[in-house]
Structure 1
């Protein structure tokens, strides 16, 4: 055999072996790169949304208001978000994603600057309404962009990564904003939110190849269609009450802490850090409960845990602990329980809706977000009334009562689902 023939024979054998060899294992799908800029935007809007309890006493003092009047900042935010989110989703669904994200972040930055410069309570309230609308536009758009940019097998992780900005807001942004407000005034806290917002805008502006808009995005009528299902409506009612009880207390947390110990509001940043860390753990536990088919039991534990925490807060306000150090430790433990139980609740409700409306999940979840923010608004209003008429010591009992209402609604829903007459 000639050298050329031997070379051809060897090449043929190598080719045959390569074809017959098993293919290397496929690399696991990963979320799209560059999601960090989207996360930075969520950090900005999440910090601004949840930092109010640490700022509210100073805002009320600056504008000559009581805390109940200043609480309209939370109520207005919740209403604006709840109404704006579905309308903005429809209005922007077919627009360029980069333009939508940058417009939302630009609007957020301008509104935050307006809050920093507000010379009246009306001006600050208007700025907060604009901040709510910017957040209502940005957060769903960022989540949708992350999903569209990622492979199908990695879309769940993409959403989780974007939602991680809210986790950062809880454990970093909110405590830092509270500490900054205590040191430099509440306006500095609003200025702080500009930093991640502008960083996110710069990153998104230079990011290449963002996915195109969703040409098949549903209209407003389609988004409201799941509300025809009584089970979905009942779940939304549980969301409304469960979040309402939380924000009857959370909005006026500084007042509730002050009723327990006059020195606690000055340490609210540290207390909110404990609350946030516990919230991250609660969110993780909720995911495990859903995966193991225990979402119903976990929802009962979440609502019951919040009610118990609020009763403990009411007992603290009644002066049960004998010393300041004891009060601080007991209050921190109470807020850890509240944070853990409270942040279990949103993913559990989302899982319930995923089971009830699998064919219209995106629209059902958008309705749940609106119910959540309406609960925020309603809770702030109810808590403000309780604060004005019965004092700060009543906030825990009012919040616990609303959580028990949510438990009752959940029990009624469970009875209806398991009723033999229901097919």
Structure 2
């Protein structure tokens, strides 16, 4: 793999840390800025909405930029948003910086995925995608806990400074490692790529990615109460469980990267079935500490192996939309990341208990399997139709 792809992974690590770190900073921000905890919670929602809306929109706007210039513009904007966030004493300004950071993150990930896929070559898009997505999984393992530690000793602003400092080397490395190629004058237009994105096969692939990612984040969001309330472990086990899920997700991304290019159908078929069975078994055995911790790791692995493979399939399917495919893949992931926890929250509010998010995750994966099977059946019926 070209070194530049690993550089892009470093930047994605910084951005993933920023996206998830607020979960450990909510109380400190609320106290320091004199706002309520639900108000601080809206920062997470603002970031998610910015990612969903921003990914395809910013990808379209940047289509006529050289990719290195686009990557640098997005990353520098992201870095500066965190500097302003670290300095401000206004919650309104902090809110605006989160939206700007989300838009920049969305644009960077969209262009970064497309850049990595093109640099890796036509037969290694899955491997390139997995390297970028491993930045997100490493953020769960190391970045988020590090942000919480910085906040504990030096306040929440130090976590924002930390993200800015991690981003700075990536800026320099992109200048050094990503080729400064001009825009291809024969490149497809935004209108052409948008038409290519209307392919039924691509739409189904994006929906599958949203469903699987929704299942992942539904259970990940409520993992802490599952561990403490259902499993009966102390709160001290929560960081260990989250880290275990992160280690599993890192393993899953790398597994997907190794198999997504050569055996994608087998990985998706077997992996989806195992993922569904795993969420059901996790819900049934969550009261057993050993079984619960084993399933935390296993489900992290399966979720990201299947999810990263689906994202790689987007680039293979959307050959006619090499730039916008990354934007729509990013949006699909974040639709799932927003919808999954919301559905899990509805199940909890209905009084179904803390096993409910695990069952909601199972239902979302089951929906993905049914959708995939329906699509395959429809294609088989069309191919079997006699020609007149």
TM range (shorter): 0.7 to 0.9
> If the length of structure 2 is used for normalisation, what is the TM-score?
0.79
> If the length of structure 1 is used for normalisation, what is the TM-score?
0.74
Pick aligned residue for 2:180 from 178, 195, 210: 210
Deviates more, 1:236-245 or 1:89-98: 89-98
Q: Distance in 1 between matches of 2:68 and 2:55?
A: 18
Q: Distance in 1 between matches of 2:140 and 2:151?
A: 16
Q: CA deviation at 1:84?
A: 1.1
Q: Deviations over 1:256-295 (max 9, x none)?
A: 33333576544443323322222222223334444453x3
Q: CA deviation at 1:346?
A: 2.5
Q: Tell whether the 8 Å contact from 2:282 to 2:295 is kept in structure 1 after alignment.
A: yes
Residue 251 of structure 2 corresponds to which residue in structure 1? 281
Q: Deviations over 1:358-383 (max 9, x none)?
A: 44455445423321211112223223
Q: Tell whether the 8 Å contact from 1:249 to 1:396 is kept in structure 2 after alignment.
A: yes
Larger radius of gyration: 1
Pick aligned residue for 1:302 from 243, 261, 271: 271
Residue 199 of structure 1 pairs with residue 169 of structure 2? yes
Deviates more, 1:240-249 or 1:177-186: 177-186
- Structure 2 SS opposite 1:234: helix
Q: Distance in 2 between matches of 1:56 and 1:313?
A: 29
Residue 346 of structure 2 corresponds to which residue in structure 1? 385
Q: Tell whether the 8 Å contact from 1:178 to 1:189 is kept in structure 2 after alignment.
A: yes
Q: CA deviation at 1:200?
A: 1.8
Residue 345 of structure 1 corresponds to which residue in structure 2? 306
Q: Tell whether the 8 Å contact from 2:124 to 2:261 is kept in structure 1 after alignment.
A: no
Q: Judging changes above 3 Å, is the alpha-carbon distance between structure 1 residues 179 and 419 closer, same or farther for their aligned structure 2 residues?
A: farther
Residue 89 of structure 1 corresponds to which residue in structure 2? 59
Q: CA deviation at 1:406?
A: 1.8
Q: Distance in 1 between matches of 2:383 and 2:175?
A: 56
Q: Distance in 2 between matches of 1:316 and 1:259?
A: 13
Equivalence map 1:108-127=2 (5 Å): 108-116=78-86, 125-127=95-97
Q: CA deviation at 1:44?
A: 0.6
Residue 376 of structure 1 corresponds to which residue in structure 2? 337
- Structure 1 SS opposite 2:245: helix
Matched residues, number: 382
Pick aligned residue for 1:46 from 16, 22, 33: 16
Q: CA deviation at 1:157?
A: 6.8
Q: Distance in 2 between matches of 1:239 and 1:152?
A: 21
Q: Deviations over 1:143-163 (max 9, x none)?
A: 555677789999887666555
Q: Deviations over 1:59-102 (max 9, x none)?
A: 78985446xx8665444433321221222122223235554333
Equivalence map 1:412-423=2 (5 Å): 412-419=374-381
Q: Distance in 2 between matches of 1:146 and 1:237?
A: 22
- Structure 2 SS opposite 1:140: helix
Q: Judging changes above 3 Å, is the alpha-carbon distance between structure 1 residues 227 and 200 closer, same or farther for their aligned structure 2 residues?
A: closer
Deviates more, 1:146-155 or 1:306-315: 146-155
Pick aligned residue for 2:71 from 93, 101, 115: 101
Q: Judging changes above 3 Å, is the alpha-carbon distance between structure 1 residues 249 and 115 closer, same or farther for their aligned structure 2 residues?
A: farther
Q: Distance in 2 between matches of 1:405 and 1:342?
A: 15
Q: Judging changes above 3 Å, is the alpha-carbon distance between structure 1 residues 413 and 96 closer, same or farther for their aligned structure 2 residues?
A: closer
- Structure 2 SS opposite 1:286: helix
Pick aligned residue for 2:204 from 234, 251, 272: 234
Q: CA deviation at 1:412?
A: 1.2
Q: Tell whether the 8 Å contact from 1:53 to 1:251 is kept in structure 2 after alignment.
A: no
Q: Tell whether the 8 Å contact from 1:53 to 1:250 is kept in structure 2 after alignment.
A: no
Gaps of 5+ in 2: none
Deviates more, 1:212-221 or 1:342-351: 212-221
Q: Tell whether the 8 Å contact from 1:247 to 1:383 is kept in structure 2 after alignment.
A: no
Q: CA deviation at 1:43?
A: 1.7
Q: Distance in 1 between matches of 2:19 and 2:214?
A: 15
RMSD: 3.8
Residue 367 of structure 2 corresponds to which residue in structure 1? 405
Q: Distance in 2 between matches of 1:122 and 1:385?
A: 29
Q: Judging changes above 3 Å, is the alpha-carbon distance between structure 1 residues 160 and 121 closer, same or farther for their aligned structure 2 residues?
A: same
Gaps of 5+ in 1: 1-29, 322-326
Q: Deviations over 1:201-236 (max 9, x none)?
A: 244457796333344444432332234322222222
Q: CA deviation at 1:340?
A: 0.6
Q: Tell whether the 8 Å contact from 1:353 to 1:361 is kept in structure 2 after alignment.
A: no
Q: Distance in 1 between matches of 2:119 and 2:368?
A: 38
